[in-house]
Amino acid sequence: MRSRTPWIAVLASAAVTLATATGAAPAPRSAPAPAPTALAAPTVLAAPDIPVANVQAHLNQFLSIATANGGNRAHGRPGYLASVNYVKGRLDAAGYTTTVQSFTYNGATGYNLIADWPGGDPNAVVMTGAHLDSATAGPGINDNGTGSAAILEVALAVARTGFSPDKHLRFAWWGAEELGLRGSRHYVTALPAAERTKIKAYLNFDMVGSPNPGYFVYDGDNSDGVGAGPGPAGSAQIEQTLQAYFTSIGVPTRGTDFDGRSDYGPFISAGIPAGGTFTGAEGTKTSAQVALWGGTAGAAFDPCYHRACDNLGNVNATALDRNTDAIAYTVWALAGAAPPPGTTVHTDGFETATGWTVNPAGTDTATSGRWERGVPAATSSGGVSTQLAAATGSYALVTGAAAGAAAGDNDLDGGVSTIQSGPITLPATGTLTLSLAAYLAHLTNATSADYLRVRVVGTSTVTALNLTGAAVNRAAAWQTTSTDITALRGQTVRIVVDAADAGTASLVEAAVDDVRIVQS
């Protein structure tokens, strides 16, 4: 990540603003929220878990390259080109089409490495990038070996799993970022206008393993109200997809502004939706942030930022693992791919009543906003979408379908609400996959006690979805998931959906749509 310029000082203030807002009363609901953007993902296969050991192996290679080449991997130095050649070799062997793009800066030749995965719609590109160069002072293992290694391993996972996305996948490793985003600027500037419009999402990962980490997600819709404003239309969908992953593992996130310090800059300047994650640079971690994530208050997120000690000991393996899995989750979700072809065993888009039962065990505690099959009214609170129209058709399962006149009208309150399907008989052979669309939306007064959960219950239980709340504004955004339920084949099962507003009083909304079970 390039150095902070004097007019940029927003990261800490953005985080503190969000942290102190958790007790605020929700704003009144406003007019119906806009429809979801074109980036809303179709039903997709679940992303694989990315082994952090594989990512660390790439970091070892980057350190070896730096050690053999004067201690760094900086623009114009032999260590940088050796890094390009290492990444290119791995991608070529995996079946990518790679291109090395050269440019000149400060009298030295720089290189961008672009890798395209065959297939997908060439007019709808999901692009993921990280800068590969280090500062001259050291090997740059956190900045930005971590981002470069993480997206490399995600790209290799695409090849290993045979992922066939609906959209076209492109990965990029940028040169001379430390000197002012020179490589990414060259790439975007050189793209014809028609090619720029094909890039529907750009994901940027710069420093994702800081030793005293925070969990920051670029604020695509400016929902924290701090800084220069939102990214281009579609950036909010990227932000929400990344947040959805961290919510699923119980890790709270905070927004950070597009402050121009990394390679998303040229993309958002060109009107391309962008987003990404960041674990912190030379900024100081606050006590409020320690309460969220642990670590050391008053210390830098990365005390070896742009220093010779930015080596393997300067990486937090847990942060690296979580961020790499978040990258994979987001690439899979935004690129989209249908489940394997097969026989539809069960499908429910809720356009007709099919025998779902509210409070089947008689133990629910929710006092309002209980589950119902209904036509959801698109609503928002303080500019945050809290309820959306059905993912397809008109009906969905939703916690209180009506909008109401004010915040808290018809949202889930008082505890747990449950709804259960009728009996579904599963075949005894083949691979069985459950897919569905869902969202959990809430404001900053939510807690980790709030949740949305989907289970398939037979003689045993498979949990298909488990989203938990956090003290952030999380806008409603239909996300799709796919789960292997082969362990239940041959059984008669029921799908159980439950949601809870179980912590402090908070605005919580949830919905489920397009439930499908396929045999392949």
The CA-to-CA distance between both ends of the chain, in Å, stands at 45
Q: What is the pTM of this model?
A: 0.65
- Picking from 240, 174, 255, 254, the residue whose alpha carbon sits closest to that of residue 201 is 240
Largest CA distance in the chain: 74
Q: How many CB atoms lie within 10 A of CB 282?
A: 17
Q: Is 456 exposed, middle or buried (0-12, 13-18, 19+ CB in 10 A)?
A: buried
pLDDT of residue 247: 85
Amino acid 35: pLDDT: 33
Place 476 in a pLDDT band, splitting at 50, 70 and 90. confident
Which of 86-90, 304-308, 405-409 shows the lowest per-residue confidence on average (mean pLDDT)?
405-409
Rounded to 10 deg, the angle between the 147-161 and 52-68 helix axes is: 130
pLDDT reported for residue 409: 78
**pLDDT: which is higher, 504 or 373:** 373
Distance CA 502, CA 202 (A): 36
pLDDT for the residue numbered 45: 59
The structure tokens listed for 344 are: 């539809």
Distance CA 511, CA 248 (A): 16
The residues with which 442 forms a beta bridge, in sequence order, are 474, 508
Check whether 435 has a pLDDT greater than 70. Answer: yes
H/E segment holding residue 421: none
In Å, what is the CA distance from 69 to each residue of 61, 85, 124? 12, 14, 39
State the alpha helices, DSSP H only, in 271-358.
287-293, 317-335
Bigger pLDDT: 305 vs 36:
305
Is 304's pLDDT higher than 80?
Answer: yes
**Cβ atoms 261, 11 nearer than 8 A:** no
- Measured CA to CA in angstroms, residue 501 lies from 25, 115, 284, 353, 497 at distances of 15, 45, 34, 26, 14
Residue 69 DSSP symbol = T
> 164-210, pLDDT tens digit by residue?
899 999 999 999 999 999 999 999 999 999 999 999 999 999 999 99
pLDDT at residue 21 is higher than 50? no
Q: Which residues are catalytic?
A: 177
Q: Dump strand ranges (E) for 388-445.
A: 396-399, 416-420, 424-425, 432-442
pLDDT tops 60 at residue 23 = no
In the chain, pLDDT over 70 holds for what percent of residues? 88
Query: Quick check: 14 pLDDT over 50?
Result: no
Distance CA 412, CA 75 (A): 54
Pull the structure tokens for residue 405.
Answer: 């006149």
pLDDT for 407 beyond 70: no
What mean pLDDT do residues 427-453 have?
91
Three-state helix/strand/coil letters over 194-241: HHHCCEEEEEEECCCCCCCCCCEEECCCCCCCCCCCCCCCCHHHHHHH
Residue range 258-281, pLDDT digits in tens? 988 999 999 999 999 999 999 999
Q: How confident is the model at residue 378 (pLDDT cuts 50, 70, 90)?
A: confident
Confidence of residue 408 (pLDDT cuts 50, 70, 90): low
d(CA 258, CA 276): 10
Instruction: Give the residue, 336 or 177, on which the prediction is more confident.
Output: 177
| pLDDT of 40 strictly over 60 | no
Query: Domains along the chain?
Result: 43-335 (3.40.630.10), 343-519 (2.60.120.200)
Burial of 316 (0-12, 13-18, 19+ CB in 10 A): buried
- Residue 133 binned pLDDT confidence (cut-offs 50, 70, 90): very high
pLDDT band at 347 (very low <50, low <70, confident <90, very high): very high
The pLDDT of residue 18 is 26
Beta bridge partners of 397: 373, 512
